[in-house]
Amino acid sequence: VTQSLVNQYLFLAGDSPIAVSIPLIDCSTLLYDTFQCMSSLLQGFPPTNIVKIKLISLRGDLEQYASSYSGLMRIERLQFIAEHCPQLRAEALKMALSFVHRTFNVDVYEEIHRKLTEATREVQVATDAVVEGGAVDPPPLDTAWAESTRKKALLKLEKLDTDLKNYKGNSIKESIRRGHDDLGDHYLDCGDLSNALKCYSRARDYCTSAKHVINMCLNVIKVSVYLQNWSHVLSYVSKAESTPEIAEQRGERDCQSQSVLTKLKCAAGLAELASRKYKQAAKCFLLASFDHCDFAELLSPSNVAVYGGMCALATFDRQELQKNVISSSSFKLFLELEPQVRDIIFKFYESKYASCLKMLDEIKDNLLLDMYLAPHVQTLYTLIRNRALIQYFSPYVSADMTKMSQSFNTTVLALEDELTQLILEGLINARIDSHSKILYARDVDQRSHTFEKSIHMGKEFQRRAKAMILRAAVLRNQIHVKSPPREGSQGELNSANSQSRMSTNM
């Protein structure tokens, strides 16, 4: 748990104050349970001695987090936090309500207002108005705004639709493309993702330059991420990367091309992460450029650091970690935004596993509040821990499991279960002496293994040599085989097949 984010409660017992810090992001505990805990701690003190309970406001921290995103992504992330963290529910919903009020998304406004009303009622019941500056009534549902916004959205939709029809009548491709984009933007602002995706996709037929194609791809990618249609995301990332403006620039790229490439890599990284292809996701995030990372509609630079760092830690070996992460001049800048993730990576590389795993536990609750990383946190943590166990034992012939358990902050029995599973999966080539609690590396006949490898390499070399000799003979004797035509009648095709000729000059 992030130590800087705590709710601090001050109690007065006689003349001596008692300060109690409770973790902020402990999503399994409600405020009601917190006060029950306080009551048990303060048994023996008369109720009159509790003079003040101070709740430090977290509005600034949540505002800073929300400001890293824009558009629908900000609303979705705040809603995710509200759903998974009771302590931040009311505050997150208030911010989401304030932001959605600036859009045409009336349905989401009404939904968030309903959730906020329920959350406020729950907090009032739980705290019983004990907390200073406690929960206040939510703002009333602005029905007048909702009605007028619906009318404005409908009028704007009619205008944009009329404009698009006029553009099609004039047959001006550029105007038609912009008309589809404007319609897509409006549907997105209204929260109608399906129609937004259709409009952005239709603009493809009216693109007249590589820049237009890239813009169309980015729009489709953005909406596909909102819809969590990850195959669509990867498909359009591939389309954008194959455009001449991106594909033909192998060396130095200008700022605009680098910005586009960074957006594409970030979107591809999200898709690979969602598909549980963690190594590929790490490679995508590592290719992002810090100076051109401006994609607030999907993710922030801090997200790139966390996603890339965690995926790399779970899948990269020591050499890859050192070359692609620790020594990467570009990714280092991302890691500076997340010092805890940076320190975890360095601790892991330095084989300081106890400190590394302890720091991982400290940030786990924060990671569980990230809508894209939360479903993968447990899997990533398991992969990281398994990799740490494998690397810890790799240099040794035998290892004392008692000392090993101390290094991994666990019990000997729990460690034995973990090692047993790794041995069964073939990840550690070892045996366990359960009585003495010692892990022994299996003896491998290196001589036999070397001979087998040599024989295999010899056969492979022989196969390649024969293939090269055959190819050289075919070229030297000018042997040609005619292929049948792809189009034509069946009779012509059969004739071509029967008359395939081989001319050989011996």
pLDDT at 35: 39
> Is the confidence at residue 218, as pLDDT, over 90?
yes
Res 12: pLDDT: 32
Domain 396-441 has CATH 1.50.10.10: no
- Confidence band for 407, pLDDT divided at 50, 70 and 90: confident
The residue-averaged pLDDT of 197-222 equals 92
Residue 126 pLDDT:
61
pLDDT bucket at 405, cuts 50 / 70 / 90: confident
Query: Please, what's the b/e burial string for 77-109 (b: 16 or more CB within 10 A of its CB; e: otherwise)?
Result: bbbbbbebbbbbbbbbbbbbbebbbebbbbebb
Distance CA 223, CA 183 (A): 13
pLDDT in tens, 144-199: 999 999 999 999 999 999 999 998 888 888 999 999 999 999 999 999 999 999 99
- Cβ contacts of 366 within 8 Å, gap of 6 or more: 1, 2, 25
Who's near 319: CB < 8 A, 6+ residues apart?
none
Task: Tell which CATH classification among 2.60.120.620, 1.10.10.10, 1.25.40.570, 3.30.565.10 matches the domain 253-395.
Answer: 1.25.40.570
pLDDT of residue 60: 55
How much is the mean pLDDT over the chain? 81
pLDDT at 253: 59
Residue 397 clears pLDDT 90, i.e. is over it: no
Whether residue 313 has pLDDT greater than 70 = yes
Read off the tokens for 313.
Answer: 């830690």
> 173 and 206 in contact (C-beta within 8 Å)?
yes
Question: 12, 17, 56, 25: which is closest to 374 by C-alpha?
Answer: 25
Whether residue 254 has pLDDT greater than 60: yes
**Which of 431, 434, 450 is CA-nearest to residue 393?**
431
Query: Which residues, other chains included, contact 331 with Cβ-Cβ below 8 Å and sequence gap of 6+?
Result: 286, 288, 290, 305, 308, 324, 325
In the predicted model, is pLDDT for residue 203 greater than 70? yes
Ranges of each domain in the chain: 6-141, 253-395, 396-441, 446-498
Identify the pLDDT of residue 18: 38
Give the pLDDT score at 154: 95
- Report, in angstroms and rounded to the nearest whole number, the Rg of the chain calculated over CA atoms: 31
Inter-CA distances, 123 with 22, 57, 75, Å:
17, 15, 22
Main-chain dihedrals φ then ψ at residue 58, nearest 5 degrees: -110, 15
